[in-house]
Amino acid sequence: GAGVSQSPSNKVTEKGKDVELRCDPISGHTALYWYRQSLGQGLEFLIYFQGNSAPDKSGLPSDRFSAERTGGSVSTLTIQRTQQEDSAVYLCALGDRGPTEAFFGQGTRLTVV
Amino acid sequence: GNSVTQMEGPVTLSEEAFLTINCTYTATGYPSLFWYVQYPGEGLQLLLKATKADDKGSNKGFEATYRKETTSFHLEKGSVQVSDSAVYFCTLKAGGTSYGKLTFGQGTILTVHP
Give the pLDDT band of residue A1 (cuts 50, 70, 90). Answer: very low
Decide if A102 and B102 are in contact by the 8 Å CB cutoff.
yes
* Residue A73 predicted with pLDDT over 90: no
Find the closest chain B residue to A102 by CA distance.
B46
Q: Are B81 and B74 in contact (CB under 8 A)?
A: no
- The C-alpha angle B105, B108, B111, rounded to 5 degrees, equals 165
Summarised one tens digit per residue, pLDDT across range B53-81 is: 999 999 999 999 999 999 999 999 999 99
- Whole-number Cα distances in Å, B40 to A56, A110, B28, B35, B46: 30, 18, 34, 16, 15
Interface test with A, best of B35, B44, B98 (most A CBs within 10 A): B44
Closest CA to B108 of B2, B5, B3, B8: B8
Give the pLDDT band of residue B37 (cuts 50, 70, 90). Answer: very high
Mention every residue, 6+ apart, whose C-beta is less than 8 A from residue A88: A36, A37, A38, A39, A109, A110
